Structure 1
């Protein structure tokens, strides 16, 4: 009996999730790609991977020194 109740609750949760997903506004892929390209071109001057870092100290990807003086 408990197994049937938990299965029913699980199915209701899945149904609720599918209803929420069905209500999401969708856009065509072509429009999404245009939006992504627009965003990238507007923010390319802020992209450190494209323009680099102003100094090594602000680079979070630099190799850390493994030697420490105590």
Structure 2
């Protein structure tokens, strides 16, 4: 009997989660893509991967110098 009650509680929890997810306001993919393109165009001048770094010291992708012991 405990297993039936546990299963019923689990199913109720799943149902409640699905109801919450169904209530979420969604936006059209076309609108989301337009927002992303707008954001990228507005922040293009600050993108170091497009324009490079002003100094190698601030480049987090530079090769680290290694110390070799002989």
**TM-score exceeds 0.5:** yes
Residue-pair matches, total: 69
Gaps spanning 5+ residues in structure 2: where? none
Gaps spanning 5+ residues in structure 1: where? none
TM-score when normalising by structure 2: 0.80
Q: Distance in 2 between matches of 1:55 and 1:2?
A: 66
Aligned CA RMSD, in angstroms, stands at: 1.8
Which residue matches 1:57? 57
Equivalences for 1:1-70 in 2 at 5 Å?
1-67=1-67
Query: Which runs of at least 4 in structure 1 moved beyond 6 Å after TM superposition?
Result: none
